[in-house]
Every structure is written in structure tokens, then in C-alpha cells.
Structure 1
């Protein structure tokens, strides 16, 4: 399986950085991974502090993988034990072909504790503080209100698959987390969208692209899909925030 081969190569190439742990979260850990369609979302814990030499080592490690199938979708955030406690802190991350800084959010932290996949070293419970329910609730609510709701008003974004998919699926997952205190995978989120009254043809479009053979789409459909998504998602987020804020 190309995914297993890529992960084995990555673990091997990561050894010069002396990782304490390497974990998978997201679809790979949650049982909804679709090879060639899903990203590989990873967290590495390495000894600190992170020096310029560490950054160069991270860049070399990822650049060596460029010829590997699926390597473009392998994203990894690098934590140190001393910097692992703050969910708002930004950490060295390789994603989309370059280095950046990203936080390890309360949602990601809860995923790691609940069903994270250990690829090397210690499990999350030994290195990562647990996520209290209140902290998870506050983050999910804030993410819907302060990040996703303003994005709904930017019409041009919603002609792109990634915004339609992430916007709707994140909303469905947020709804279940706020309502029931649990995290769900993308497949369950699709079923939840139907129950929540999301436009059926948009949900079908996401399902086909993720799990089946996508149908040909023209500009007229992309424009209609954007309108349907925005008309549903704006009021839906407003109602969610009012209910759980």
C-alpha cells in the first residue's frame, strides 16, 4: 500500500531528529482515510529547543520524500515537550511544500487522545495534556463564529471544492461536538449534514468526490453550488452559535 510505504520511509528519515513520538490524526487515525484523496496529518514530538539546524533537518526530510507517491499530502507539525501545553501556540509545520507555523488545536489534541494512531514512540497520553470539555466547546464555537462565519461572506471562495467540503463538514462536526461532546469522522459528518438540512445535491457532490467517481461539472454548477452552500451555511452557523454560545 503506497500510504504504508510512505509512512515507513518518513519514520526512517525522521530518525536524525531523534523524535520522541510520531502520531497520526485526522482521517488516517479516524478510520475514514481514502488513499489518494485524504491528506496524511501527522504530529512529531522532537527534543527541544528547535534550532535553525532542526528547521533545516525538517526541510531536508520532507524534500527527500518529494518523489514518493502521496508525499504532497503529507503534513507534519513539530512539537517539543516544553511547548506542548499551549493549544494557542504556533509550531513548526511542513505543509503544502514549505514550512510554516500552525497551532495544534484542541480538536486535534482531542483526536490524538481519543483515537490517535501511534507511528513511533510514546502515545499522546504521555506527552500531551488532556483537553477539558469546556476548552473543546469554546474552541469549536469560536472557530465557527470567528473563522467560518466571516468566510461565508466571501463569495469567490465557495466556487472551490476545498471550501465547500471543509466548510460544510466542519460545520456538521462542530454541531455534533457541541451537542454531544464527541468528535466524528467525515463520513458520519456527511450523514449529519443530511439530517441538518444541508442542500442534498451539494452533499451528494461531496460524497461522490470523496468516495466515488466525480461527475463532470461546469461553471454553471460551480456557481449554483456556491450559492446553495452559502445560503445554507451562513444561517446555520448563526443558529449554532446562538444555541451554544
Structure 2
């Protein structure tokens, strides 16, 4: 079917299942948001809700309204089940970082065959938004871990600097469970210190401690009569 034929039969807003990648991936249960058109090389494509760009008409299946509603209900139920299974897998093996690739492999082992990096990333982000996971960041999100689980710090210099600022650390540089402000502070120092000279790290850390104290955040207390972190 070419673009003209598709537009004659299916106006904008037609319910469809669209496959941006391959048909082995999970389809998008959406509606068309533009008329179909042809690319320079002649391939007919159409744009759908919740996706940027065009999807080839060979990867778009038109549904009736009833079929579309049923497909969305089944999709929503599948998402709930899939995320519950993924969270259980992460909680069973919380060590290391859970990237989209690792999450995808866990889902496949659990019998969810239709997944891709986009799906797995969305599931991790949703679990984090619900408070089940925390993002491990270093300028960009690198992976996820179970919320409140200690995040290991392997840089001895960084560990020494954090210990100097009063954040409790164990002998192997793994932070013990502490107040959320302390964990946030540790994460921020971990993010910026590799990109600064030591003098700048010290100055920035002092400013960060000052800001936390201004906000009245607990967890940073004076030592030997001096200000916290001095």
C-alpha cells in the first residue's frame, strides 16, 4: 500500500499497532498523527503518537477501535506484570548496576520475549520514579540499583576526601546507609570530582556543605567546635 492509498482509507487518528524497529519488538499501541507520505527513495511512512519520525507502513497494523482498546488493556496489564518481575529480579541480585541491557536479559529469562532497549529503559525509569530504584549517575545515568543500597566508591582519593568531609565510610570505601542528604552529597562529589583539580574539588565541596547547612539538612554536624565538614 502506498501513501495515497493509506490516506484514502485511514484518516489521521486511526488506531494502529506500530513497530519502529522490527516486528519482534514490542509494538506501540497508538494512533496516527499525520497523513502518510513517501520518503525520497519511495518508502511510504506515517507518524504516530509518542514517537518521533515516520514508521514504514509495512510495520503499521490498522486496528478497529474495539481491537485497539483491548490491545491497550492487555498492554497495560503486561507492563504491570513485567515491571513486577523486573523489580523482583533486581532485588534478588542488587549488586552491580542494572542497565537496560541487563534488565532486558532478565526479562527474556522470565519469558518476556518482546522487549528492546527502549522498553527496558522505560521500565527502569518507571521503577525509579515509583521509589523502588535509584539512578547511579556520573554526568549521565549509567545504571540503576535498589533504593537505599550502598553504592561502592573505588577511588581511594575520592574516598579519603569524602571521609574528610565527615561522611561515614567502611574500610572498603563503601558508604554505610546514612541520611539521604549525605548520600546525595556523596553522589554529587562523585560526579564532579573526576573533572576538577583537587583545589577546585575542595572549594566546591565546601560550597556544597554550606548550601546543605543553609537548607537545614540534618546529617552534617560540627566536629571539635568547628563547622561541619571543616
TM range (shorter): under 0.3
**Relative to total residues, which structure has the larger helix share, 1 or 2?**
1
* Structure showing greater Rg: 2
Provide the TM-score with structure 1 as the length reference.
0.26
Q: TM-score, normalization: structure 2?
A: 0.27
